[in-house]
Each structure stands twice: as C-alpha cells, then as structure tokens.
Amino acid sequence: MEISRRLLGKMAAALAGATMLLPAAAGAQDKPAPFDNPGEVEIALVRYLSTGDFFQAYLSGVEAQAKALGVNLRVLDSRQDAALQADMVDQAIALGVDGIIIQHGLTESMKEAAQRAVDAGIKVVAFDVNVENDAVPQIEQSDRDLARLALEQAIEDNGESWKAGYVYVAGIAPLDRRDETWRQFKEKYPGIEEAAQFGTLDNPIANSVANQARSVVTANPDIQVMFAPYDEFAKGVKIAVDEAGLSDSIKIYSADVSTADISAMREPGSAWVATAATNPAVVGEVSVRALAMLLAGEEPGKSVIVPPTLITQKALNDGDIKNMEELAQKLPQFAHADVAVPAWMPLPPRD
C-alpha cells in the first residue's frame, strides 16, 4: 500500500512536470470535512479508454486536482475491456475508497456497477458515460457546443451557402452528438450542400481517412468546406487536401486539439483553419472537483458541463502557440473552467 501510494505520487509529480509549483497551502480549517484531513481521503479513477493524447491529458488533470486537494488517487485502467471495468469498480468498492470517477465505458456494464458503489455509500461521478443513476453527476464536454462553435466559424468564414464534405462514423457517442448539430445546421442553412460523406476508424485513422478524402476531393473538386469533427479525421483530410494541391480552395473545420494538431494547423498555407475543443486536462480537474463537492456534502448538479473554446489558425499564429501548454497560457478560457469551484476548493497552480 505504502509503496503503491508513493509510486503514484511520483508518477503524478513527473507528469505535472518541473514547471508545476506546490499548491498554495490553504488553511486546513477552511475546508469542509473530509478535506480538513485530506490524507485520509482516497479516490479511484476507473478508466475505459486510456491511450491517446486526450486521455493522457485528462489523467494529468485528474492528478493535478487530486494533488491540489491533497487526496490519494488510485488509477484503475481497464483498457477498453467493459467487463474488466465493472470488476474494477467492485475492486475499488472492496478497497474502501471514498469516491470513484468512472471515465467512459458502456452504459450496460457500468450502470449496475455504479449502483453497487452508490449502495456501498461511495460517491460516484461519471465522465462521458451515462450510468442512468440520479445519485451520479455526469461530467460532460459538450459535444453539441463543440460542433456548433466550429460550424458557426465556418458560416462566418464562408457565408451561408457552400458545398461541404463531411467526415462521420456512426455509433460513437460523441460523434453522434456532433452529428446532431451538423444536421441542425444543414436544416437551418439550406445553402449548405453535403456533397460527400465518408469516414473510417481503421487504424492509423489519419492515414485511412486521407485515402478516402483523396477520392472524395477528386470526385468533388468543388468542395469548399470539410467538416471533420474529430481531430484524427481532420488530420487525414488535411493530408489529402495537401496532396491534391487544394489547400487554397478547401477549408477544414474540426473538433478537439492536441500539440500535433496545433503544428498541423500552423503549417504555412494549412487548410485546417479552426477547431473547437475542450481542454481534457480541465475536464479531468472538473471531474475531481465535482467528486470532492459530493464528498463534502455539496451538490455539483446533475450534469456538469465543461464549455469548449474555439481555436482558430489565426489565433495560433498571432500568439505563436506551439503546444498545448502555450495554448493554455495564451487562451485563458481554454486553460481553466470556472465549473464546480466552491470557495473552499483548492485549485491546481495556474501560471
């Protein structure tokens, strides 16, 4: 136990990096129980998805906020195994943790596991998975808002009538929610003509999408706007547009962001002009804060929504932003969300 805690602490410290200062020590008396003695509090993060930039950043946010609170964090990673994830919730219950964050997963497998945890008197919050339980607040990045921000920018840049290519794969919850917004926009602006719809999740996604997009732009060279509401899609479309030499006539709008995306958007003459994104690290922080509020007997609300930010190529170039850290520094609305912040809540250091 001691060893694993120490290890976790080390990992957290390494990830938080040298730039991170120790959280300002707030007077212990200011905080409600059980955070007047945070060393006794243990929370578990039970993950379904973990590989990729987004999930890495999410974890770093969870770790930063847990450290700011001074609570012990235990990370259980099921690596896309739904049954194992349910077992891990039971494992966390058996370990006697005080709170659990369920990160992604399937409603079918997590619903009962979450109920068992609630029955055991453990506070639970869920990120991006609906466990159909009134006692469990939902942490959400608003996919509809993500799509809306990107599309509003497309309207602003290109007017209300253009020919579009759309990248979409059905059956993935966030993509489905983004798709709803796309449909609404097509209804609202009849001038938008969807000339082609394509998409694939074949690994490596960007390469497979690039092959498809290449065919699409050859068949429809008059497409003006590509709506690719997932950054891997946008990367693939950008490769195809570059290869076809159409960077000047096509603009790409997407959702999500990473360091690699930033450099792709900033390449000279890049067709990728805007993306809407929520900072995954902030979502991680908010998840822990919502759980902490529950533990302190407060009510974070049935659903806790982390608002997205629009990131344009112009903003990146103007601020000479090269990676996610600089993005967070120069776009403060991206770095922090004033969500689930009661007065007593210690926040991770902000620089």
Partner 1 sequence: MESRMAEKTSMAGNSGLSVREIAIRYGFLTLLVGLIIFFSLATRGFTSPQAAVFILQSVSITGILALGVTATLVVGGFDLSIGSIATSSMMAAAYVMVVLEQNALVAVLVCLAIGALVGLINGLIICYMRVPDLLATLGMMFLLIGLQRIPTEGRSIATGMTLPDGSTAEGKFSQAFLALGRHRFDLFIDNLVPASVVVLIVLAIVIWFFLEYTRFGRMMYAVGSNERAAEFAGAPVKAYRIWAYVISGVFASIGGILLAARLGRGDIASGNNLLLDAVAAALIGFAVLGAAKPNAFGTAIGALFVGVLLQGLTMMNVPYYTQDFVKGAVLVVALIFTFALLGRKAR
Considering only residues 141-170, where is the footprint of partner 1 by CB under 8 A?
Answer: 169
Angle subtended at Cα 108 by Cα 105 and Cα 112, rounded to the nearest 5 degrees = 95
Compute the least distance from the CB of residue 326 to partner 1, in Å. Answer: 8
Cross-sheet strand order for the sheet of 225-228: 193-198, 163-167, 225-228, 251-255, 272-277, 309-312
Q: Of 104-112, 239-247, 312-320, 333-341, which segment contacts partner 1 by CB under 8 A?
A: 239-247
- Restricting to residues 277-336, name those near partner 1 by CB under 8 A: 322-325
Is 19 a residue that touches partner 1 (CB under 8 A)?
A: yes
Question: From the list 191, 221, 301, 319, which residue makes contact with partner 1 (rule: CB under 8 A)?
Answer: 221
Minimum distance between the CB of residue 322 and partner 1, rounded to whole angstroms? 4
Interaction between residue 184 and partner 1 (CB under 8 A): no
The correct pick among 203, 338, 343, 351 for binding partner 1 (CB under 8 A) is 203
- Under the binding rule (CB under 8 A), the answer on residue 51 touching partner 1 is yes
Least Å distance, CB 19 to partner 1, is 6
> What separation in angstroms does the CA of 328 have from each of 111, 224, 246?
35, 31, 31
* H and E: helices and strands count for the chain: 13, 12
Measured between alpha carbons, how far is 236 from 208 in angstroms, rounded to an integer? 7
Q: What distance in Å separates the CA atoms of residue 244 and residue 261, rounded to the nearest whole number?
A: 20
The verdict on 29 binding partner 1 (CB under 8 A) reads no
Output DSSP code: residue 322.
-
Handedness of CA 151, 156, 161, 164 (dihedral sign): negative
In whole angstroms, the minimum distance from the beta carbon of 56 to partner 1 comes to 5
Q: Which residues face 196 on adjacent strands?
A: 165
Report if residue 101 touches partner 1, rule: CB under 8 A: no
198 membership: H or E segment, kind and range: strand 193-198
> Which of 37/207 has CB closer to partner 1?
207
**Contact 199/214 with Cβ under 8 angstroms?**
no
Q: Is 205 in the site for partner 1 (CB under 8 A)?
A: yes
Smallest separation (angstroms) from partner 1 to the CB of 108? 22
Q: Can you give the binding site for partner 1, defined by CB under 8 A?
A: 14-19, 50-53, 55-56, 169, 196-200, 202-208, 210-212, 214-216, 218-219, 221, 235, 239, 242-244, 258-260, 262-264, 322-325
